């Protein structure tokens, strides 16, 4: 930087060259946007020796040079200014989520943000968000606006940038050669750290998101690659099937009493017969936008991508194609991305006052008119419910006042402003409310058991961090996601009629329950549970198949 001066009310900053400009703005990011990154890096690498200081300094230098290099690779000074201007609001958002919740902005997080609804967006609004937006997102734009750079001949441009790139590369090689073990630790056991680097990780995520958006465009609406939906022939005189498929939200295994949690978060479900709890089930992703289409897809986590799943025949398509009446009742916005092919009803954001608050509606709203609906059903049916469950950060808005069982509950959206105990209390109240809603659904299914063979499947889309290691909420990049965000509850309940019809072997179920499963099993388990088959169905992936005596 050469000097700053006021000119007609605008503060002008004169840079000698694009190189000084790039270094100036890269250092702004490193100094003001990377609190979480530095905090965690120091915790990971600082053991008190002088080498640690040198390593952290060279890490800082390396990031400075890489960010400056990235800016210098942009042709033309005007485009450089535009891109720099865009980086500030992106960096402010990334910095806010990293500092407040320990959340990194990556490709899937951007997908979640794009799919967020009004309620989810407003649940994040806080004075701190305002400060970050203004201080990091808007104010630096005046610096960008006031930037003045001399018009250099192209040759000098190229020479300066070339010299800088060579120096940066040289420094990087020396740094890695001097600290090989520390840099390999950064890539191995501390590989979550680069995700907190602002704005690099968010830009990388945005590019990945944009690229994935183009995948699959131009394909047929439904490719039916693993189609041929069909039903298993049922016994003469058998009742129709009625299955409730409940997709929970943000429920983690660790806080389910059914899974061994010490608190009474499942008082009602614990007293219900024929209810199976599978304690070792892993989610496909750490966000709704990934997990939801993934669990219904036959692709499995390894093959799955959101773009591919859009054109694939999911479990709901197969069951509908086989002649089962399917309907999707949503109290959650995440459904929009894939439930367009089945009849769906959205309950969120409207409903009677005792079932809704200023942000969203309680999950009991999904029961409105349900019994009348069932009375009108004639054949086999699957009614799917996408619950609001334990969606944060405003846990205290997910349940009616009567379910404030664990107190004091955190009543703020800035979770790190509450004690961990208050956060846990609020979250546990959401689980206790989910317990009540699920028990009510089972009650409705029991009442319908004279006309239908009934069952209920409950599966959460992903877990949640409640402040473990300073991390809150969910959406961590999967390779570095903590266990709490991945391990989810899975419940299967069946009526006596259903158990007899399927010739369920109870001792087999006891053996089956503790086994390790994942969302990859859901497609096959749902088809199996509704006597449906497709070319993609694998009985080896069906969690209940070994315990049924029906033809496979």
Q: Write out the residues near Zn ion by the rule CB under 5 A.
A: 249, 288, 461
- Maximum C-alpha span of the chain: 89
Task: Give the C-alpha separation, 314 to 298, whole Å.
Answer: 7
Q: Which helix (H) or strand (E) holds 205?
A: helix 200-214
Task: Give the C-alpha separation, 537 to 514, whole Å.
Answer: 23
Q: What is the nearest approach in angstroms of Zn ion to the Cβ of residue 109?
A: 12
The residue of the chain with the least Cβ separation from Zn ion equals 288
**102 vs 199, which CB is nearer to Zn ion?**
102
Taking alpha carbons only, the member of 110, 25, 107, 109 closest to residue 70 is 25
**422 vs 461, which CB is nearer to Zn ion?**
461
Q: What is the nearest approach in angstroms of Zn ion to the Cβ of residue 55?
A: 38
Q: For residues 475-499, b (16+ Cβ closer than 10 Å) or e, as one string? A: bbbbeebbebbbbbbbbbbbbebbb
Q: What is the nearest approach in angstroms of Zn ion to the Cβ of residue 132?
A: 24
**288 vs 525, which CB is nearer to Zn ion?**
288
**247 vs 456, which CB is nearer to Zn ion?**
247
Q: Are 429 and 409 in contact (CB under 8 A)?
A: yes
Strand order in the sheet with 343-346: 343-346, 325-330, 381-386, 241-248, 453-460, 487-494, 275-282, 517-518
**149 vs 316, which CB is nearer to Zn ion?**
316
Q: What is the nearest approach in angstroms of Zn ion to the Cβ of residue 488?
A: 10
Q: What is the nearest approach in angstroms of Zn ion to the Cβ of residue 289?
A: 8
> 18: which 2 tokens?
């694009």
| Phi-psi domain of 329 (left: phi exceeds 0; alpha: psi -120 through 50; beta: other) | beta
Q: What is the nearest approach in angstroms of Zn ion to the Cβ of residue 358?
A: 21
Q: What is the nearest approach in angstroms of Zn ion to the Cβ of residue 195?
A: 19
**460 vs 495, which CB is nearer to Zn ion?**
460
**95 vs 286, which CB is nearer to Zn ion?**
286
3-state DSSP assignment of residue 92: helix
Task: Give the C-alpha separation, 549 to 235, whole Å.
Answer: 13
């Amino acid at each position: 930087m050469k000097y700053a001066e006021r000119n007609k009310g605008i503060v002008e900053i004169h840079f000698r060259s694009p190189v000084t400009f790039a270094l100036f703005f890269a250092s702004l990011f490193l100094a003001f946007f990377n609190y979480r990154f530095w905090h965690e890096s120091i915790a990971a690498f600082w053991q008190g020796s002088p080498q640690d200081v040198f390593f952290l300094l060279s890490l800082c230098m390396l990031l400075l040079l890489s960010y400056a290099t990235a800016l210098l690779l942009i042709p033309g000074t005007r485009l450089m200014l535009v891109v720099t201007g865009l980086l500030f609001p992106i960096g402010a958002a990334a910095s806010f989520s990293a500092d407040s919740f320990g959340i990194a902005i990556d490709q899937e997080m951007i997908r979640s943000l794009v799919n967020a609804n009004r309620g989810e967006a407003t649940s994040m609004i806080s004075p701190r968000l305002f400060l970050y937006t203004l201080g990091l997102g808007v104010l630096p734009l005046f610096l960008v606006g006031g930037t003045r750079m001399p018009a250099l001949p192209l040759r000098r441009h190229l020479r300066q940038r070339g010299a800088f790139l060579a120096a940066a590369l040289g420094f990087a090689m020396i740094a890695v050669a001097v600290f090989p073990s520390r840099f390999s630790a950064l890539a191995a056991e501390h590989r979550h750290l680069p995700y907190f680097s602002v704005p690099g990780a968010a830009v990388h995520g945005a590019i990945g998101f944009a690229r994935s958006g183009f995948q699959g465009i131009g394909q047929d609406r439904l490719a039916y690659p693993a189609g041929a939906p069909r039903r298993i022939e049922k016994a003469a005189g058998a009742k129709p099937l009625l299955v409730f498929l409940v997709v929970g939200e943000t429920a983690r295994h660790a806080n389910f009493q059914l899974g061994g949690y010490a608190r009474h978060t499942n008082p009602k479900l614990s007293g219900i017969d024929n209810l199976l709890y599978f304690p070792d089930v892993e989610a496909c992703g750490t966000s709704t936008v990934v997990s939801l289409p993934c669990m219904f897809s036959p692709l499995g986590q390894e093959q799955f991508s959101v773009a591919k799943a859009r054109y694939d025949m999911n479990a709901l398509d197969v069951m509908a194609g086989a002649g089962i009446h399917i309907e999707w009742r949503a109290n959650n916005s995440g459904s929009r991305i894939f439930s367009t092919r089945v009849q769906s009803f959205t309950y969120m954001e409207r409903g009677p006052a005792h079932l809704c608050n200023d942000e969203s509606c309680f999950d009991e709203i999904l029961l409105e008119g349900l019994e009348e609906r069932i009375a009108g059903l004639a054949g086999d049916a699957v009614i799917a419910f996408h619950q609001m469950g334990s969606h944060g950060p405003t846990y205290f808005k997910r349940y009616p006042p009567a379910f404030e069982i664990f107190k004091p509950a955190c009543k703020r959206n800035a979770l790190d402003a509450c004690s961990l105990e208050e956060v846990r209390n609020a979250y546990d109240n959401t689980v206790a409310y989910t317990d009540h809603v699920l028990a009510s659904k089972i009650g409705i299914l029991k009442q319908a058991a004279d006309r239908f063979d009934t069952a209920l499947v409950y599966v959460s889309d992903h877990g949640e961090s409640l402040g473990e290691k300073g991390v809150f909420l969910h959406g961590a990049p999967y390779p570095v996601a903590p266990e709490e965000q991945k391990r989810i509850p899975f419940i299967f309940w069946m009526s006596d009629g259903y158990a007899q019809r399927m010739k369920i072997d109870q001792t087999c179920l006891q053996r089956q329950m503790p086994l390790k499963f994942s969302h990859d099993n859901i497609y096959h388990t749902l088809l199996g549970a509704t006597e449906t088959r497709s070319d993609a169905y694998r009985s080896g992936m069906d969690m209940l198949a070994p315990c049924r005596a029906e033809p496979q």
